[in-house]
Amino acid sequence: MLSTIIDGVGIRVSRLGFGTASLHHIFSSKGRGELLSAAIDSGITHFDTAPYYGYGLAENDLGRILQKRRSDCTITTKVGLYPQGGFSSTSTNLWSRKLLGKVLPKMSEPRKVWEVDHARSSLYESLKRLKTDYVDFLFLHEPDLNMINIEEMFDWLKVEREKGSIRAWGLAGIRELVEPFLQSEYQLQSVIQTQDSIDTHEANFVFNVGRSLQFTYGYISSARVARQNMSVESVMHQALERNHAGSILVSTQRPQRLGELAKMVMS
């Protein structure tokens, strides 16, 4: 697998990263572990997760699989969005709550908390689930500029970096949420992870401020939604040209597909 150094922070990651937002769609812990192992076997070494993904299950599974391979991989987790009713330790609990959310939709909506004290607690809970002393990237998850004390958050992130709990920080979200931060004097946007596509180019706002794309996602799914008559290989090649120096996040439930995508990156 090809690798790249993320502009501005000097951290090397694989050109293809694995996103764990839908990892919990695989019911068994064994199956989730096999998928994560297949990602590593295909050459993927960067993994994106969050406390909200699978209500904590994604971080637990990732920590279990990466525990003995931590030095070979990079990890992103996030703060800001959390599951209603706390975290789940089993698939049964998770899916029971998901079904409840069908009846009470508010139960499926993320709980948004932006106080620094809560972010600090969240980070250290994530580290426990991930079975590691640090994460390479800590992102504010779908951040709302009006809800965040930027100066306080910035000061806290610097402290965590000095302590070695994080190596870099940034923002993860769609353009409408991330773009307002770009004019702030406090550099919460050191790294940007955002949605993009090969047709509508949602991530152009990053280019507009003279920066290169760092982490992007959504190319294959957006092509499907647009019903474009393009092969996955064609979509990936164009995505790699657009994000020529960063990492592209992909997600699948099929181990075989990870090998196929990895070959596209190498070709």
Catalytic residues: 53
SS3 43: coil
Lookup result for tokens 């990079």: 74
Q: List, in order, residues 6 or more apart from 180 with CB less than 8 Å away.
A: 145
**With contact defined as beta carbons under 8 Å apart, do 138 and 169 qualify?**
yes
**With contact defined as beta carbons under 8 Å apart, do 111 and 79 qualify?**
no
Q: What are phi and psi of 213, to 5 degrees?
A: -70, 135
**With contact defined as beta carbons under 8 Å apart, do 45 and 73 qualify?**
yes
**With contact defined as beta carbons under 8 Å apart, do 50 and 80 qualify?**
no
